């Protein structure tokens, strides 16, 4: 059952019954998140391979200062981030199955369980790209089903959508699978795209996912205006390193 399609059909019938014209906007969430409200949608990314414990301590303090949504650290640093952020509203996020989710299902589940035990409350998980590219979406889906079962009620799960690897048909198939998978977010990743976060990529995903799955996007987000534009297009989380810069810009304009 496609709940989003049913919702749209009912909405259209109500509009026709009352002879109402739909309100046309540039994006489904245009104008809803601006200024200081942007800060609570930021995820401070601390995933560079040369990140030291000193960097984690300093940057977690930055995240705590501005009360952003979350930090995203490597699994190795989850215990440290948890200790530093204890008592703050900032979630401890991490990433598993990187870069392309091509290890065994057992290995990925073990990594998820360890991260949860160490204090992670949000987890970005890479889908099995090799299975998807081989036309075995069912394999990737079964694995994700197991991860969702393990995570439900314990952590927020974000499925990584490395969209540059997929054909247009694969993009739609993967997003349709994710729409009903039980994940909390789809993360549009730009590691291999050759460009940064784009509004059109958010709109494309949002059109398929509907409003029941959050959208996270990363890739060179450097200004408040860019953050506002992506959120207006339908993103609900922004992964970035320029967190302090954007937070200060938002506070300055408040």
Per-residue pLDDT reduced to its tens digit, 28-60: 444 488 889 999 999 999 999 999 999 999 999
Overall average pLDDT of the 168-192 stretch: 94
| Of 62, 68, 114, 61, residue with least CA distance to 83 | 61
Q: How many domains does the chain have?
A: 1
Residues in contact with 41: Cβ distance below 8 Å, sequence separation at least 6, in sequence order: 33, 69, 227, 231, 235, 236, 237, 238
Q: Could you tell me the residue range of the domain that residue 227 belongs to?
A: 3-252
- Which of the residues are catalytic? 124, 187, 216
Local confidence band at 202 (pLDDT 50, 70, 90 cut-offs) = very high
Q: Is the pLDDT of residue 97 over 80?
A: yes
| Of 70, 177, 178, residue with least CA distance to 123 | 70
Local confidence band at 86 (pLDDT 50, 70, 90 cut-offs) = very high
Give the integer Cα–Cα distance in Å for 86 and 230: 30
Local confidence band at 4 (pLDDT 50, 70, 90 cut-offs) = very low
Q: If you average pLDDT over every residue of the chain, what do you get?
A: 89
Give the least confident one: 100-109, 141-150, 231-240: 100-109
CATH of the domain at 130: 3.20.20.70
Local confidence band at 7 (pLDDT 50, 70, 90 cut-offs) = very low
């Amino acid at each position: 059952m496609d709940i989003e399609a049913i919702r749209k059909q009912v909405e259209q019938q109500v509009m026709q019954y009352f002879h109402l014209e739909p309100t046309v906007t540039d994006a489904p969430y245009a104008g809803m998140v601006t200024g200081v409200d942007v800060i609570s949608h930021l995820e401070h990314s601390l995933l560079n391979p040369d990140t030291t414990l000193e960097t984690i301590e300093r940057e977690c303090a930055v995240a705590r200062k501005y009360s952003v949504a979350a930090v995203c650290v490597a699994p190795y640093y989850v215990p440290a981030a948890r200790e530093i952020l204890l008592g703050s509203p900032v979630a401890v996020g991490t990433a598993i199955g990187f870069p392309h989710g091509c290890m065994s299902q057992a290995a990925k589940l073990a990594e998820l369980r360890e991260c949860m035990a160490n204090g992670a409350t949000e987890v970005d998980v890479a889908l099995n790209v090799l299975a998807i590219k081989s036309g075995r979406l069912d394999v990737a889906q079964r694995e994700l089903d197991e991860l969702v079962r393990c995570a439900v009620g314990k952590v927020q799960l974000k499925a990584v959508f490395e969209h540059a690897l997929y054909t247009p048909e694969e993009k739609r198939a993967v997003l349709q699978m994710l729409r009903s998978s039980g994940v909390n977010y789809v993360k549009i990743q730009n590691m291999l795209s050759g460009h940064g976060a784009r509004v059109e990529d958010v709109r494309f995903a949002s059109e398929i996912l509907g409003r029941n799955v959050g959208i996270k996007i990363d890739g060179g987000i450097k200004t408040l205006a860019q953050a506002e534009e992506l959120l207006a297009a339908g993103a609900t989380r922004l992964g970035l390193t320029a967190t302090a810069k954007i937070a200060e810009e938002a506070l300055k304009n408040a």
